[in-house]
Amino acid sequence: MPKTSSEPAQGHRRIHLHGPTMGTRWSARCDTPPGLDADALDLALADAVAQVDSEMSPWKPESDLNRLNRAAPGQWVALPAGILEVLTRAVYVSRLSNGAFDPAAGALVDAWGFGAARDSPDAVAIRAAARAAHYPAHQALELDAAAGRARKHASLQLDLCGIAKGHAVDRMTGVLRRHGVRHALAALDGELRAVGSQAGDEPWAVAIESPEPGRRSVHGVIELQDLAVATSGDYRRWVQVGDVRLSHTMDARRAAPVRNDVASVTVLARDCMSADAWATALLVAGPHEGLALARRMDLEALFLLRRDGRCVELGLGRFAGGRATTPMARHPVPAAQ
């Protein structure tokens, strides 16, 4: 059921809607106009994220993603508009990032125990995935959006976990607007998107976490208004191999988990799907290639690097010189990876 908190400005009612999805939780903080049916909105938001999960989950055998994964190379597969939109953006970011973002890394994700196949690394599967010929998605996947179909030109296993949650947030904001909500903050894990400002015209305060494994603390706070943010990092999901901690994010170009100085990357964009994909791409690309890529694509990004036991910032756009972040704000919403 919706949770109602204190009354915001301009006669709106503040509600907080939330529910489980994709192994985590979605949420929406809304300043709603008089007469809005909060229960109907709650159901519509839950349906929107459930739809994304049914289309793009690697854990659901009958998802549209897994239907495409099981199809033989050259075979056209009919797909819904939502997953085709995500695949189109994924291929675009894959090409422009030279494969740093690569949704065709599904076999590696599974081999290292982060996918649906297993929950711990498997040495045999890791060797097989590393030795297999790899074709990035922008080379091996053909999309026909007009006909609602896609086909692979090589054997590959797709994984959309680096972009699907951002797309789910975008779908949530569409639901909010269709229900007449003009002041809201939609969130799913480290992906958030603001619909307007708060009803009192203040932007939404969102916390950027310090990239510290095992504890949650705030590194800084950013303010959102009609803007999306996504954070990718190595500090929430990893596998320990000897004395080395390896991230859940795969670098398909190296056929291994990403391993560089970048602890997290936060990206601002107009839509959350783009912010999500680019945050992953920059994390994989690393501090030098990633910073050059962000500059080339005119991205607003904050890199948090581990250097000599310290957390070092590199920022572009509104993050340059730390201008977009403040040490703390009242009741910030966490943007945890």
Residue range 136-167, pLDDT digits in tens: 999 999 999 999 999 999 999 999 999 999 99
User: Can you give the pLDDT at residue 57?
Assistant: 96
Per-residue model confidence (pLDDT) at position 6: 44
Q: Judge whether residue 242 has pLDDT over 70.
A: no
Contacts of 193 (CB under 8 A, 6+ apart): 169, 170, 172, 173, 185, 186, 187, 224, 227, 228, 229, 271, 272
pLDDT surpasses 90 at 45: yes
Task: Please tell me the CATH code under which domain 64-152 is placed.
Answer: 1.10.3980
Residue 209 has pLDDT above 90, yes or no: no
Amino acid code (one letter) for 195? V
Cβ-proximal residues to 121 (8 Å cutoff; 6+ apart), any chain = 111, 112, 113, 239, 241
User: What pLDDT was estimated at residue 2?
Assistant: 39
Q: How confident is residue 297, by pLDDT bands cut at 50, 70 and 90?
A: very high
Specify the pLDDT at position 11.
78
Predicted confidence at residue 322, as pLDDT, reads 62
Lowest mean pLDDT among 3-7, 120-124, 147-151: 3-7
41 vs 9, more confident? 41
pLDDT band for position 107 (50/70/90)? very high
Q: Are 264 and 233 in contact (CB under 8 A)?
A: yes
% the chain with pLDDT above 90: 69
Enumerate helices (H) and strands (E) in the chain, giving the number of each: 8, 19
Task: Please give the average per-residue pLDDT across 165-180, as a whole number.
Answer: 98
**Which residues, listed in sequence order, are joined to residue 78 by a DSSP beta bridge?**
149
Question: If you average pLDDT over each of 214-218, 255-259, 308-312, which comes out highest?
Answer: 255-259
Q: Give the closest residue to 59 by CA, choosing from 98, 91, 22.
A: 22
What does the domain layout of the chain look like in residue ranges?
Answer: 64-152
Looking at the chain, how many residues does it have?
337
The pLDDT assigned to 305 comes to 93
pLDDT band at residue 70 using 50, 70 and 90 as cut-offs:
very high
CB-based contacts of 99, cutoff 8 Å, min separation 6? 136, 138, 252, 253
- At 12 the pLDDT is 87
**CB 168, CB 188: distance < 8 Å:** yes
Residues in Cβ contact with 112 at an 8 Å cutoff, skipping those fewer than 6 apart: 121, 126, 239, 246, 248, 250, 257
What pLDDT is attached to residue 316?
95
